[in-house]
Amino acid sequence: MTVPPSDDASNDTASRDTSATAATPPHEPAPGVDAHSVGRSADSTTAAPPSQSSGPTAGSLPPDTEEQADALVIPEPEPIPVWPGTPYPLGATYDGVGTNFSLFSEVAEAVDLCLIDRDGHERRIRLDEVDGYCWHCYLPNVGPGQFYGYRIHGPYEPVNGLRCDPSKLLLDPYGKAFHGDFDGDPSLFSYAMAAPESEGPADSDEAAHDESRADTPAADAPPVVPAEQSLRATGDPSSDDYETSSTTVARAHDPASAAADPQADVDASASNGADTESEAGGAVGDASVDTEEAAEPAVVTEPDETADAVVEDADTETLEKPDDDDTESSPSMPQLDSLGHTMLSVVINPYFDWQHDRSPRRPYHQTVIYEAHVKGMTATHPDIPESLRGTYAGLAHPVIIEHLKALGITAIELMPVHQFMQDFVLRDKGLRNYWGYNTFGFFAPHLEYASNPDQPAGAVTEFKAMVREFHNAGIEVILDVVYNHTAEGNHLGPTICFRGIDNGAYYRLVDGQPEMYMDYTGTGNSLNGRHPHTLQLIMDSLRYWVLEMHVDGFRFDLASTLARELHDVDRLSAFFDLVQQDPVVSQVKLIAEPWDIGEGGYQVGNFPPLWTEWNGKYRDTVRDYWRGEPATLGEFASRLTGSSDLYESTGRRPSASINFVIAHDGFTLRDLVSYNEKHNMANGEDNRDGESHNRSWNCGVEGPTDDPEVNELRARQQRNILATMFLSQGTPMLAHGDEIGRTQQGNNNVYCQDSPLSWMDWSLADKNSDLLEFTRKAIALRAKHPVFQRRRFFAGKPIRWGQDMLDIVWLTPSGEAMTTADWDSGFGKSLAVFLNGNGIAEKDERGEVISDDSFMICFNAHYEDIDFTLASERLGNEWEGVLDTRHPQGDSDIESAPCGSSVTIGARSLLVLRKLT
């Protein structure tokens, strides 16, 4: 539902006229009209000053009639009715009639809701209703497409952890959509940006922009802390004499501080790019409001530029308001208004036709996860229309869904799709934040992944449609979420949201040094999971994505950070308690990345029962085994059977282990077998970034080679790793592109490579069609046989029904059961495992006993062929080969191998045998 345009066409025309060409000065208002209600151009800093006489301006003709004279006056915009509203739900909530706005801040002394029109003009509404530190109001006839933000008035005392700065237009922490972009302007920062020593103050906006990127201050340089400011106001905001006229300037000077730079106004409409249809533009002040039910008109303020304001510097010396020419160099420089340089929050329409959508709700043991990047997955696909490449719609295109279904994928795990910020330092290097682990919009899908990013809130609808299409195909959608830090960075970062709203509530500050941030993530800050409102934000976000966006689960980036109550990781922390008791979040897939960079952060196996984990020990063990590291047999066997040593003691099942060998951070599968060393020079950090100990082996040559033997070995090693992963107990995860041999040319940290280096090259699907077919066969073998998808751990004991037979048997190449000496052998390269299809203890969903074929998997990580003897009649009389990694597509030439015979397992290969009799 959209808000209809105003019935008063003249008012609408007049409103649009306020963004007329800046070279035309506005006329003086008619008698009785407040000067501050007159519209002013968005780029008013370049406009001539208004005429101070009542006569005609120079170079203009006097009006012939009184009517013509009146027509020269731009009327005041329609007043906005403001109702009290409710403190909950937080954020902007449209109900079909109007929108409720609510924002939490415990430190705020006053809060302004700022409505921004599509030309970048701002109208401020002082929020007078406060309940439990939630500032709120309800605006009738304000609806979807309305741009908005907040200004927080309160103490700016960084040394005490307080960073309120009303010159910053702040985003809504509960914003469900955003519009525009951040441009790196100094106005995004709450401290003065140092100019180059060899040059004077910038003489143009472009020069100022170039010399003051967001992260340009040196890491060891302390920030220039702005002087404390005070204002002798022209009136009490609660009194009748206080200014109540509307503000239509692009960057209104804040009435609560001398905080705006008169030189800094820019054309906000050009920056915002908000040229939208009137029906989607969120028209405000609709004349159809029932005035009997409406409250008093909004208190919408613009400062009196002639007001007798004073600014106090750090030494409390009273100074006159600096002249325009002095603001760049003044030690008491007023803060710059960030409107026009920051993103804007957008009111969304929550209604969507889900067409009876239902989650597949596939159990973990039947799940095969595919980790993917929205853009990287689709950026080069020739069968996707160019306009849809790199978008949610492109990811939901039938060719992508068919590719995933043909593989046997049951869940797609998307790298961050919460709204994130581009890093200004990377941008200056010609790079971009590709991965997206720099989020701030925990309720909003990332705008750049929308096929029409200029359409306000279009990303929301497109994301929902994508989820619906995946569900129709039986594929679940899991989101990689980053609740451990935000894009605002450390004390030198920009003020765009949380920092300016309530710094101490949202962030972990250093004890005894609250101007600094605790950093368990390596990103500059850590969210404060100890504060109830931060916990509420996280939980509300999770519920929103489940209930409103229909996602099926979450993978938590650096999840150990969320578990830190004081300093140590606590598996009984408040966050886990909230998840455990939540009737919505507790019922979806919960996957932890069980580590962070803080002390004691590596917590594989230590998360509570509801949780599954990225099993880093599985990754390391499988890599070590296939590259020929000695003495890994015992741990290899444990990882192959579900890592009971990590999960059984906490009542979890094998599916708690998310088995992966490759993920987004590190080598691709092809690069893992092609490089010994990382090659990250393209990242611009002299190859210092990225993991140096990769447990990789290049098979004898570093990087690309024409040697056919090396290339054949590399292809076989890829098949070995894929087969091991899909035949292990647990929940397998395939990284996007590994099924077609994607390469990053040895770069193991492509976080900043939004380029063909990191995107999927779909031409490889034909070039490496054998690998693609092998991957399909391995996944199909797993999906068809419950013996590879056990819900419970192996008992290693005789089965109580039927034959006196173990559910699992470990064998040496000679066909004998493994002994302690065999496990401790330094050779440790070859073994076989028998999986008894009649030894599955659990029952199916209908309560029936599960019976399956029995299999023997023979592993040989040695550099020579080894003969395996099929010795025991108790295990099977006759066997056939079903998967052999020596063959490019996994075919086996073993049609029948009787008991007592030997089968040759090729050097560095794997063979799967199925019991016939």
> In terms of Cα–Cα distance, which of 809, 808, 811 is closest to 869?
811
The CATH number assigned to the domain holding 117 equals 2.60.40.10
Of the pLDDT bands very low, low, confident and very high (cuts 50, 70, 90), residue 649 is confident
Listed in sequence order, the residues at least 6 apart from 15 whose beta carbon sits closer than 8 Å to its beta carbon are: 39, 77, 117, 248
Q: Is 481 helix (H, G, I), strand (E, B) or coil?
A: strand
Same domain, 693 and 555: yes
Cα 535 to Cα 106, 538, 658: the distances in Å are 15, 5, 26
The band of 855, judged by pLDDT with boundaries at 50, 70 and 90, is very high
CA separation for the pair 416, 437 (Å, rounded): 6
Do 912 and 874 share a structural domain? yes
Q: Report CA dihedral (651, 657, 658, 660) to the nearest 10 degrees.
A: 170
Rounded Cα distance between 555 and 534, Å, is 19
Q: Which of 784, 816, 833 is the last residue of a domain?
A: 784
Count CB atoms within 10 A of the CB of residue 268.
27
Q: Are residues 777 and 655 in the same domain?
A: yes
The closest of 637, 751, 747 to 694, measured between CA atoms, is 747
Asked if the model's pLDDT at residue 322 lies above 90, the reply is no
Check whether 279 has a pLDDT greater than 60.
no
The answer on 862 and 755 residing in a single domain is: no
Query: What confidence category does residue 313 fall into, taking pLDDT thresholds of 50, 70 and 90?
Result: very low
- Does the global pTM surpass 0.85? no
Which tokens is 858 given?
A: 């023979």
Q: Which of 663, 859, 855 is nearest to 750 (CA)?
A: 663
Cα 797 to Cα 285: distance, rounded to the nearest angstrom: 75
Q: Quick one: 453 and 597 in the same domain?
A: yes
Checking if the pLDDT of 382 tops 80, the result is yes
Same domain for 877 and 768, yes or no, is no
Whether 557 is catalytic: yes
Please give the share of the chain, as a percent, with pLDDT higher than 70: 74
Helix then strand count (H, E) for the chain reads 20, 33
Question: Is 35 within a domain?
Answer: no
Q: Which of 286, 593, 671, 807 is labelled catalytic?
A: 593
Total Cβ atoms within 10 A of residue 572: 11
Point out the domain boundary residue: 784, 811, 832: 784
Output the six-digit token pair for 572: 């009984």
**CATH number for position 837:** 2.60.40.1180
Q: What is the pLDDT of residue 568?
A: 57
Domain membership flag for residue 298: no
d(CA 176, CA 500): 19
Inter-CA distances, 285 with 183, 582, 852, Å: 31, 39, 69
The more confident residue out of 176 and 23 is 176
Residue 174: predicted pLDDT:
98
Whether residue 774 lies inside any domain: the answer is yes
User: Which percentage of the chain shows pLDDT scores above 90?
Assistant: 64
pLDDT digits over 658-714, tens only? 999 999 999 999 999 999 999 999 999 999 999 999 999 999 999 999 999 999 999
Q: Per-residue confidence at 338, pLDDT binned at 50, 70, 90?
A: very high
> What are the distances in angstroms from CA 478 to CA 670, 745, 747?
25, 28, 26
* pLDDT tier, 570 (very low <50, low <70, confident <90, very high otherwise): low
* Short-list 37, 535, 491, CA closest to 244: 37
Do 747 and 832 lie in a common domain? no
Measured at the CA of 70, the angle between CA 66 and CA 73, to 5 degrees, comes to 155
Q: Is 240 a catalytic residue?
A: no
Cβ pair 113, 127 in contact under 8 A: yes
In a domain, 80, yes or no: no
Q: What's the number of domains the chain is made of? A: 3
Pairwise CA distance, residues 135 & 101, whole Å? 8
Query: Is residue 868 located within the same domain as residue 890?
Result: yes
Q: What is the pLDDT of residues 162-173, one digit of tens each?
A: 999 999 999 999
Contact 151, 168 (CB under 8 A): yes
pLDDT in the model for residue 64: 53
| Parent domain of 154 | 91-190+333-345
Closest CA to 731 of 889, 624, 612: 612
Of 764, 784, 804, which residue sits at a domain end?
A: 784
For position 571, what pLDDT does the model report?
A: 52
- Is residue 13 in a domain? no
Question: Quick one: 807 and 678 in the same domain?
Answer: no
Other beta carbons less than 10 A from residue 129's beta carbon: 17
Between 83 and 268, name the one with better pLDDT. Answer: 83
The pLDDT value recorded for residue 63 is 47
Q: What one-letter code names the amino acid at 283?
A: A
Closest CA to 501 of 133, 252, 83: 133
Together in a domain, 544 and 615: yes
Chain-centroid distance of CA 77 in Å reads 38
- Mean pLDDT of all residues in the chain? 80
Distances from the Cα of 560 to the Cαs of 265, 423, 458, 498, 606, in angstroms?
44, 24, 34, 21, 10
Could you tell me if 873 and 896 lie in one domain? Answer: yes
Please determine, for residue 83, whether its predicted confidence score (pLDDT) is greater than 50.
yes
Element (H, E) at 734: strand 731-735
Question: 801-825 burial, b for 16+ CB within 10 Å, e for fewer?
Answer: eeeeebbbbbbbbebeebeeebeeb
Strand, coil or helix: 440: strand
Q: Which residues are registered as beta bridge partners of 731?
A: 658
The CATH number of the domain holding residue 394 is: 3.20.20.80
Dump pLDDT digits (tens) for 118-138: 999 999 999 999 999 999 999
Residue 237 neighbours by CB under 8 Å, 6+ apart: 110, 126, 299, 301
Same domain for 520 and 391, yes or no, is yes
The Cα–Cα gap between 774 and 723 comes to 9
Q: What is the pLDDT of residues 155-196, one digit of tens each?
A: 999 999 999 999 999 999 999 999 999 999 999 999 887 654
Averaged pLDDT for residues 425-453: 96
> What is the per-residue pLDDT across 399-437, written as a single tens digit (0 to 9) for each?
999 999 999 999 999 999 999 999 989 999 999 999 999
In angstroms, the CA 220 to CA 355 distance is 55
In a domain, 122, yes or no: yes
pLDDT in the model for residue 872: 79
- Band of residue 477 on the pLDDT scale cut at 50, 70, 90: very high
Give mean pLDDT, residues 353-367: 96
Residue 5 maps to a domain: no
As given in the structure block, the two tokens for residue 236 are 């009490």
CA–CA distance from 564 to each of 518, 559, 572 (Å)? 11, 9, 10
Nearest Cα residue to 173 out of 529, 581, 501: 501
Q: Does residue 262 lie within any of the structural domains?
A: no
pLDDT of residue 253: 30
Instruction: Compare 495 and 521 and report the one with higher pLDDT.
Output: 495
List 302, 413, 552, 557, catalytic entry = 557
